[in-house]
Chain A
Amino acid sequence: MITEQETHPLDDLLRVDRIPHIWCPTCGLGIVLNSFLTAVRESGIPREDIVVVSGIGCTGRAAGYVNLDSFHTTHGRALPFATGLKLGNPRLKVVVISGDGDLVAIGGNHLIHTARRNMDMTVVCVNNFNYAMTGGQFGPTTPKGARLTTAPYGSYEHPFNIPFLVDSCGATYVARWTVLHIRQLTESIKEALVHPGFSFIEVISPCPTVYGRRNQLGSGLDIVKYYRDNSIVRNDIDTRECEIEYQGKIIVGRFVQKRKPTYLETMNEYLRQSVGEGFVPYQGPMDDGD
């Protein structure tokens, strides 16, 4: 008997030999990866032009599962690595997929400067409110009152409002969705991929194994039910208004979308003026037919 060989429509964008991935059942990270690959597929961008960079953490495993050029870099250093890639070959669509701890804690300094420069890249920051891979320490996104291994009585620190942080530093595309806003998230990633400048998408994602368990929030399915009942879509708002409180309302939407010269546009224009008409902007190796 001939049996039909069934393959998922995204299998060619996945390193299927590494599937199943390590992410726990009902974790949101696989949904983010699915959404990203769907956006890549629907954007029509040639796959050889896309590079994925991740740092370290559960989210950081994403780079290892995509069948695209990808780099798993050191903790907190995804953005400077990605900046180097972009400057080395400006034609590339550089995408960083990493965790809130990786991008906003140890990598926070790089985040503010990459946003300040309006570096032309897309960042998908998965916020599960903790350092999941290392067992659930609290970090700079942990809402006040949430319990974690290093905050057994609940965290009392003031957490970052990440969209406000990157907006105030100079990001020109800023959005936030939960993993349940799957279609909006996919549309946002598609928009971000073609946006010239620093585009940043925060994705609120359940970590049932650590954050969920410590706070007795149930499975990932229970946590996304909470998202559904407590998310409010508000596009174009002032990013100061989208702080997240422990088990409070989650404001989602596309908050910022504006055009401003990117790092390379600014550099080329400045050097053309100061060096003179003889200045030749760097186009990157691929444009020479290499």
Chain B
Amino acid sequence: MKLWRKPLDSDEKKPPQGRVHILIERCKGCGFCITYCPKDVLESSPDFNRRGYHPPVVVHPERCVNCGLCTIICAEFAIWTTPVEEPQPQPQT
């Protein structure tokens, strides 16, 4: 996110971070969580679950701000997040 001005407390205050949990076998691959995640944390997996749907995969774990939108928009109760205190390590390349 590009800030048009730097918040005065940005040194002490960090955006909240979340960890994403997915119950792959519950997912019906609707894509709501992927489409509406404001931080583009998720992508559709190329793999199928047992019922033939493509569940989401977490592609940018470090971007999740624990906003909870994916949790509440999932029709299948398949995805939710929990807060993390420490910033997550950047994914290894």
Contacts and interface: CB of A to CB of B under 8 A. Distances in A.
B17 interface: no
Given A20-B26, A220-B30, A31 B77 contact: no
Interface residues of A, number: 30
Given A20-B26, A182-B69, A221-B32, A8 B77 contact: yes
A164 interface: no
A182 B77 contact: no
A149 B23 CA distance: 36
Contacts of A10: 77
A35 B51 CA distance: 25
A46 B30 CA distance: 32
Nearest to B30: A26
Given A25-B28, A221-B35, A35 B77 contact: no
A6 B25 CA distance: 12
Given A25-B53, A34-B73, A35-B72, A8 B78 contact: yes
A14 interface: yes
B43 to A, nearest CB: 15
A30 interface: yes
B51 to A, nearest CB: 8
Given A34-B75, A34-B77, A19 B32 contact: no
> Which of B35, B36, B73, B74 has the largest number of chain A CB atoms within 10 A?
B73
Interface string A163-175: 0000000000000
B31 A221 contact: yes
A73 interface: no
B80 A9 contact: yes
A19 B35 contact: no
Contact of A31 (B29, B32, B35, B53): B32
B76 interface: yes
Nearest to B29: A25
Contacts of A14: 77
A182 B31 CA distance: 15
A11 interface: yes
Contacts of B74: 30-31, 34
> Which of B23, B29, B35, B75 has the largest number of chain A CB atoms within 10 A?
B75
Interface in B8-42: 21, 23, 26, 28-32, 35-36
A35 B23 CA distance: 19
A112 interface: no
A94 B30 CA distance: 31
Nearest to B76: A30
Contacts of B36: 180
Nearest to B71: A9
A51 to B, nearest CB: 21
B26 to A, nearest CB: 6
Given A20-B51, A220-B32, A221-B32, 7 more contacts: A10-B77, A20-B76, A29-B75, A31-B72, A31-B75, A33-B75, A225-B35
Interface of A: 6, 8-11, 14, 19-21, 23, 25-31, 33-35, 38, 180, 182-183, 186, 219-221, 224-225
Closest 4 pairs (CB-CB, A-B): A30-B75, A25-B28, A26-B30, A8-B77
29 contacts: A6-B23, A8-B77, A8-B78, A9-B71, A10-B77, A19-B26, A19-B77, A23-B75, A25-B29, A25-B53, A26-B30, A26-B31, A30-B74, A30-B76, A30-B77, A31-B32, A31-B73, A33-B75, A34-B75, A35-B72, A38-B72, A182-B69, A220-B30, A220-B32, A221-B31, A221-B32, A221-B35, A224-B32, A225-B35
